[in-house]
Amino acid sequence: MLASSPLHVRTQGVFILRSAFHNWAIVALLALSTQAHALNSASTGNSYVHLGTIGTGGLDGVLIAPNWVLTAGHVAQTGITFSSNLGSATVDAAYRVPGFGFPANDLALLHLSSAIDADSFPTLNADVIDNDSAAEGLPVTIAVTAQSGTQSHVYTTVDAAFDEVALEGDSTATVWYLATGSAANGSPYLQGGDSGGALFAGQVGSSQSLLIGIASATDGSLSYFVQPGAYREWLDATLAASGQRALWNVSAVPEPSAAWLLCAGLAVLAWRRRLV
């Protein structure tokens, strides 16, 4: 079980984001662990019912099973409440991915003391989109919930995918990030407090969609999301201990989103890494 106090992470130094499409130098990469705001240049609504807030700071998480919330590792904590349109429950245990150390492996599961029932849950993408995949330009939806309970979403595209960042001193961190582009004003879509928000495949208006990323960090222009599929074995084992499970897509090409299927180049992702 993790400490119950919030985690405020500020990482100093220069990160080199490696991908087949781009190389960036990022100074002072920030985890989004401040009070929540609406997405930059976003539309509002409350149709992403599995998305909710964690605690009083408005940080986000996604309900993926009756007693389980998926969120960013750097915001994982206990003794607080997960609140969504489907219901609320206390977080009584939190589990980070082994090897967590922001920005590395920035993913966590929160266990709820009481179940929140739903007719269905988001489907997690089992196919890891890596730096050899045709990731650039894929349509996606970013969705977050503010502390007020109001949700916001924006339709955008994936800018790149990469599995590592290079740190100062020639060390590396495993991140399995998807990067999305900037808003029209040049700022990142993610704002302070948006950590744990959702990235869905395609332009979708519901959280009963294909979940491909969890909001982790931002620089001065791009937003970064951890891919759950890279940690499928750990996620499945953790949920199985409670007798529950996550829903995963089983096709080599994600099927739940028509927009995803229609995206140019997606059907020929020839070099994806799949973890089973």
- Distance, CA of 69 to CA of 198 (rounded, Å): 12
According to DSSP, the β-strands at 151-166 and 14-18 are antiparallel
Three-class secondary structure of residue 42 per DSSP? coil
- Distance, CA of 249 to CA of 127 (rounded, Å): 8
Q: Are the C-beta atoms of 69 and 211 separated by less than 8 Å?
A: no
pTM of the complete model beyond 0.75:
yes
Q: Residue 44: what pLDDT?
A: 64
Q: Which residues of the chain have pLDDT under 50?
A: 1-31, 33-37, 251-276
- Amino acid identity of residue 265, one-letter, is G
Q: Residue 14: what pLDDT?
A: 31
What are 81-139's pLDDT values in tens digits?
Answer: 999 999 999 999 999 999 999 999 999 999 999 999 999 999 999 999 977 666 788 99
**What sign has the CA pseudo-torsion 250, 84, 202, 229?**
negative
Residue by residue, DSSP assigns 73-129 as GGG--SSSEEEETTEEEEEEEEEEPTT-BTTBT--EEEEESS----S--PEEP-EE-
| Structure tokens given for 160 | 């790149």
Q: Residue 42: what pLDDT?
A: 55
Cβ-based neighbours of 40, under 8 Å, separated by 6 or more:
154, 183, 185, 187, 188, 189, 190, 191
Q: Are the C-beta atoms of 83 and 46 separated by less than 8 Å?
A: no
